[in-house]
């Protein structure tokens, strides 16, 4: 029971501190779940993010579910998910009651402007951490450049870009080991997975 309570409290704290979506959650996960608790590694979190991007639902919620499942099975997944969602839902209810009344105040607009900047900084920090783990070799760089060009230049569907990258990764990495440490996790798992 103590482990469930620890899981619940940890994800309540993460839910309270996560602003700006799934990618802004990574620094908080890094501190709470990787640093303090040592429940998962950065490679595992990147794998969870990869899976969460191609499954229905919100990336942050899916990631909380995966970590909870890893910790305590399906019940842990449910506990982590509900605990992560509860603070945000409560904040949304409170804000929705008062937002109309306060949104026109200049001070509130300035606060929101500051929060947007801080969220941008968190997302940039996450991007830099993600890129460190992505560029394991030349194949990874080629997939990255092609995916970026398809999305940014040709406005291709993200579903097609992610699916194409997965197929390319399967064929490019199936015979060799992935990642600079040859452990397989840095670029999305071992070739045989």
CB 185 within 8 A of CB 44: yes
Between residues 46 and 64, the one the model is more confident about: 64
**Is the confidence at residue 190, as pLDDT, over 60?**
no
Average pLDDT over residues 13-21: 78
Average pLDDT over residues 29-49: 86
Q: What is the 3-state secondary structure (H, E, C) of 136-174?
A: CCHHHHHHHHHHHHHHHCCCCCHHHHHHHHHHHHHHHHC
Q: How confident is the model at residue 44 (pLDDT cuts 50, 70, 90)?
A: confident
**Is the confidence at residue 180, as pLDDT, over 50?**
no
d(CA 7, CA 83): 8
Q: Which of 9-13, 21-25, 34-38 has the lowest mean pLDDT?
A: 21-25
| Secondary structure (DSSP) of 79-147 | HHHHHHHHHHHHHHHHHHHHHHHHTTSHHHHHHHHHHHHHHHHHHHHHHHHHHHHH-SSHHHHHHHHHH
State pLDDT tens for residues 133-174.
Answer: 777 788 888 888 999 999 889 988 888 888 899 899 888 888
Look at residue 12 in the predicted model and tell me its pLDDT: 92
Between residues 57 and 184, the one the model is more confident about: 57
Q: How confident is the model at residue 49 (pLDDT cuts 50, 70, 90)?
A: confident
CB 78 within 8 A of CB 85: no
């Amino acid at each position: 029971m103590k482990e469930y309570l620890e899981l619940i409290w940890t994800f309540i704290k993460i839910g309270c501190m996560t602003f700006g979506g799934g990618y802004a959650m990574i620094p908080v996960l890094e501190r709470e779940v990787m640093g303090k608790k040592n429940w998962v590694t950065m490679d595992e979190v990147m794998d969870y993010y990869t899976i969460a991007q191609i499954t229905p639902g919100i990336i942050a919620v899916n990631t909380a579910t995966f970590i909870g499942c890893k910790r305590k099975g399906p019940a842990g997944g449910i506990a982590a998910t509900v605990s992560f969602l509860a603070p945000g839902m409560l904040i949304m209810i409170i804000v929705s009651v008062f937002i109309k009344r306060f949104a026109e105040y200049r001070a509130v607009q300035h606060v929101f402007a500051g929060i947007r900047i801080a969220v941008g900084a968190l997302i940039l920090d996450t991007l830099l951490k993600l890129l460190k783990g992505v560029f394991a070799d030349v194949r990874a760089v080629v997939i990255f450049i092609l995916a970026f060009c398809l999305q940014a230049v040709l406005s291709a569907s993200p579903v097609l870009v992610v699916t194409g990258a997965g197929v390319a990764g399967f064929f490019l990495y199936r015979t060799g080991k992935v990642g600079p440490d040859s452990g397989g996790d840095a670029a999305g798992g071992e070739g045989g997975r």
